[in-house]
Structure 1
Amino acid sequence: MSPHVLVLGGTAEARELAAELAARPGVRVTVSLAGRVTRPAAVAGQVRTGGFGGPEGLAAWLREHRVDALVDATHPFAETITRNAARAAAAVGVPAVVLRRPGWRPGEGDRWHDAASLPAAADLLPRLGRRVFLTTGRLGLAAFAHLTGLRFLVRSVEPPAPPLPPHTEVLLARGPFTVAGEEALLRGHRIDVLVTKDSGGAATAAKLTAARRLGVPVVVVRRPPLPPGVTAVPDVPGVLERLGLTAP
């Protein structure tokens, strides 16, 4: 019987992995998308959209569809999904792999301030700047809504969910972005502090280089920890090796 791999997707790495799996004869791949983006990028394999109903629902889906391996390739901040996937795979006895791109690390000249959460990031802002470039995604912006004395430029792929800070301009855009473009944006909006999650990867890293060049401080929201006993693989070749599917 053909091995069936379920990929919990939504990232560039998930799309890359799905293409690699679909190219291997005899491998069936299903990619599950949360459905939060209205026009997701094309992905190889069979696609399902929506949640599973918690770890119990995911475990039932794994059994019903005879899944042989589960790969969690969701966003590094998809903490609930990662926890549910680990519990479901353990309950069913299905091998599971977490695919996580490496996080960003500061370099010479960076003015980074670590924050453990969005509320912690909001607490830092009043002493760092007055015009904030907020690039933490469309959810969780309520953590900044009380900062009535600051002005925010919020960039996200989809319109952000309220409540928002009272002085907010929304910019809808999808990466990858260029350093030149990010520098122009920071200058044009007179940004004096940047807030980002530690998403990692190259698609949105240009803003960090631009901030370094312009001397703009950056508040970096650190990733949530992985569930106990769970380790991550940093790239697609590592996942394929773990699954025993290195040869196409």
Structure 2
Amino acid sequence: MSGAAAHVLILGGTTEGRALAAALDGRPSLRVTSSLAGRVAQPRLPAGEVRIGGFGGPDGLAAWLRAEGVAAVVDATHPFAAGMSRNAALAAAATGVPLLVLRRPGFAPVPGDRWHLVPSLAAAAELLPGLGRRVLLSSGRQGIGAFAHLDGLHFLARSVDPPEPPLPPSLEVLLDRGPFTLDGERALLRDHRIDVVVTKDSGGAATAPKLTAARELGLPVVVVERPPVPEGVPVAADVAGAVRWLERTV
């Protein structure tokens, strides 16, 4: 593509989204806009242009792509942002704008792990009473309501911002943001007498130490499996792969 800079939209809010924006920043052949959902009060802002807030569903996103002359979209949202990924796929199909999903690999079990894979937070809540009584809930503040009916368990919920009701009756909230260290995770599990961990299969190094600490202590871990990528959309596992795709595409 020649002439004006090619406009690339990054659907971001993740470490990978920020890294991709940084990798593309300053390239005269590209104009890069990162879009953040606005669900975190003080998000880490990427390099380049930033917009915050939703588009109004797939039709709204399609209209924005047309109005802004977007040449390519990279979906670098959280692996569990299934709604946004679906909207991106529909909008890309409607406009003919090329779409790539930038998705970090999921967690991988190793010998000694006591993982229980479940398809949803509701399934995790159903399984919990048979596994423990003191729960580290590190699945994000928006999913805590799935555990609100469990009155026989104590939850330590870790999130960037305070959760909103409904909430479990016995709940302690720890406001914190990764990356987390292995020593810190060991101390957290011991100090709070945690006997079961709940996490999403978000992948990435920032939150992986809790899995190592749980393995060392022999704790069961309930892992919510990630939703699939929209059918037919290419996937890059890292920023370098996304950059190569963009170089070929725009």
TM-score range, shorter chain: over 0.9
Q: How does 1:102-181 map to 2 (within 5 A)?
A: 102-181=105-184
Deviations 1:30-81 (A, max 9, x none): 0000001111113111100000000000000000000000000000000000
State TM-score, norm by structure 1.
0.97
Deviations 1:79-107 (A, max 9, x none): 00000000101110101100000000100
Q: Which of 11, 16, 34 is residue 19 of structure 2 equivalent to?
A: 16
State TM-score, norm by structure 2.
0.96
Percent identity of the aligned residues?
67
Separation (CA, whole Å) in 2 of partners of 1:7 and 1:232: 14
Task: Report which stretch shifted further, 231-240 or 149-158.
Answer: 231-240
Aligned AA for 1:201? Answer: G
Aligned AA for 1:118? Answer: L
- 2:142 is paired with a residue whose SS is coil
Deviations 1:155-212 (A, max 9, x none): 0001112111000000000000011100001000000000000000000101000000
Separation (CA, whole Å) in 2 of partners of 1:150 and 1:97: 41
Deviations 1:85-143 (A, max 9, x none): 00101110101100000000100110000010000000110110000000000102111
1:26 Cα deviation after fit: 2.3
Separation (CA, whole Å) in 2 of partners of 1:147 and 1:140: 14
- Residue 91 of structure 1 is matched in structure 2 by 94
Separation (CA, whole Å) in 1 of partners of 2:33 and 2:248: 16
Aligned AA for 2:117? Answer: D
Give the number of aligned pairs: 246
- Residue 205 of structure 2 is matched in structure 1 by 202
Aligned AA for 2:214? Answer: A
Gaps of 5+ in 1: none
Q: Which of 216, 223, 226 is residue 223 of structure 1 equivalent to?
A: 226
CA contact (8 A) 2:99 2:233 kept: no
Q: Which of 37, 42, 50 is residue 45 of structure 2 equivalent to?
A: 42
Gaps of 5+ in 2: none
Separation (CA, whole Å) in 2 of partners of 1:107 and 1:231: 28
Separation (CA, whole Å) in 2 of partners of 1:90 and 1:65: 17
Computed over aligned residues only, the root mean square deviation of the Cα atoms, in angstroms, reads 1.1
